[in-house]
C-alpha cells in the first residue's frame, strides 16, 4: 500500500493531509487544522480515534463524497479522511479585547461566509480599517485556508480571527460586554444614518442567503445600503467594506457627505 503523505506543496499549497495515521498524528501534535472531511457513510467507529482527537482540539468534521476526497488528496491514498490545515492559529475573544485595549471594541462577525476569497477580502478590509478582530463559525463557512490567507494579502498575520461553535451565542456574549451589534442586510435602516461610533460588532451574511434569520433576530440594528440599479445585492466582501468604513468614518469623527446640502 502506498505510504500516506502530505500532498505536494506546488499542487495543494501544503494545506492537505490525507490518510488516517497522518491526520491522527497532525491532531496529536496540535497542528492548526481548519476542518476534517470524512467519507460519507463510512463506519464512524473505524474513525473513532480521529473523531475523538478532533473534538478535543475543537476541529469541525464534515461529511464528504468520495469524489471530493479524491480531488482534495490529489492522488494520495486518503483512506476516507482528509484534513485541511489552517494557514494561521485561531485567536480567542480575550485576544480581540486585548488588541482593542482602551479603544471601543470594533469586531466583524462573518455569518456563514463560504467563499474563501470573500473571507480573505473581509479580513484584509478589517485589518486596514483598524478593526480588532473577526469572528467566524466552526462548521458553516470557510476557515483559514491558504486561499483566505492569500486573498487577505497577509492581514491574517495581524488580525485576530476567532472561530466559535455558535454565532448567536458569540453575539450575546459581545452584547453582555457592552457592544452594539449591527447586521448588514437588505431590509434595514440607511447605513449612514445609524450611530456606529461606539463599541460595535458588524455582522456580514453569506453569499446569496445573507444573514440567517436567527442571527438577525439577535442583532440590535439592521442597516442596509441603497440599491438603485437593476442588481439587488452586492458581493459580501464589498458590502462589508462599505459598512466597515462608515463605522470608521464615525469613529474618527469625520463629517458625513450624505448630510451635506
The string of pLDDT tens digits covering residues 52-101 is: 998 888 888 888 899 999 888 887 888 899 998 888 888 999 999 999 99
pLDDT at residue 129 is higher than 90: yes
The per-residue pLDDT for 141 is 81
How many Å apart are CA 103 and CA 260, to the nearest integer?
A: 29
What confidence score (pLDDT) does residue 231 get?
A: 67
Q: How far is CA 8 from CA 11, 28, 72, 206, in A?
A: 6, 22, 12, 31
Which domains does the chain show, CATH number per domain? 9-85 (3.30.1330.30), 93-259 (3.40.1280.10)
Cβ(120)–Cβ(149) below 8 Å: yes
| 139 Cβ neighbours under 8 A, 6+ residues apart | 60, 62, 165
- DSSP assignment string, 90-145: ---HHHHHHHHTTSPPEEEEEES---HHHHHHHHHHHHHHT--EEEEESSSS--S-
Please, what is the average pLDDT of the chain?
Answer: 83
pLDDT of residue 187: 74
Amino acid at each position: 500500500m502506498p505510504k500516506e503523505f502530505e500532498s505536494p506543496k506546488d499542487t495543494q499549497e501544503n494545506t492537505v493531509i490525507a490518510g488516517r495515521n497522518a491526520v491522527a498524528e497532525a491532531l496529536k501534535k496540535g497542528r492548526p487544522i481548519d476542518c476534517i472531511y470524512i467519507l460519507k457513510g463510512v463506519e464512524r467507529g473505524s474513525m473513532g480515534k480521529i473523531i475523538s482527537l478532533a473534538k478535543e482540539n475543537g476541529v469541525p468534521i464534515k461529511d464528504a463524497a468520495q469524489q471530493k476526497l479524491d480531488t482534495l488528496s490529489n492522488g494520495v491514498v486518503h483512506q476516507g479522511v482528509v484534513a485541511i490545515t489552517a494557514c494561521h492559529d485561531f485567536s480567542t475573544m480575550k485576544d480581540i479585547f486585548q488588541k482593542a485595549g482602551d479603544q471601543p471594541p470594533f469586531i466583524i462577525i462573518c455569518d456563514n461566509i463560504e467563499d474563501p476569497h470573500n473571507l480573505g477580502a473581509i479580513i484584509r478590509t478589517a485589518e486596514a480599517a483598524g478593526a480588532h478582530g473577526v469572528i467566524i463559525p466552526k462548521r458553516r463557512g470557510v476557515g483559514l485556508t491558504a486561499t483566505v490567507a492569500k486573498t487577505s494579502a497577509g492581514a491574517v498575520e495581524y488580525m485576530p480571527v476567532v472561530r466559535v461553535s455558535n454565532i448567536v451565542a458569540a453575539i450575546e456574549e459581545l452584547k453582555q460586554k457592552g457592544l452594539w451589534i449591527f447586521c448588514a442586510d437588505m431590509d434595514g435602516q440607511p447605513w449612514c444614518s445609524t450611530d456606529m461610533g461606539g463599541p460595535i460588532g458588524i455582522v456580514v451574511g453569506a453569499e446569496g442567503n445573507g444573514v440567517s434569520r436567527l442571527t438577525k433576530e439577535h442583532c440590535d440594528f439592521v442597516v442596509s445600503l441603497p440599491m438603485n440599479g437593476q442588481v439587488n445585492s452586492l458581493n459580501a466582501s464589498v458590502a462589508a467594506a462599505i459598512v466597515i468604513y462608515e463605522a470608521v468614518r464615525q469613529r474618527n469623527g469625520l463629517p458625513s457627505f450624505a448630510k451635506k446640502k
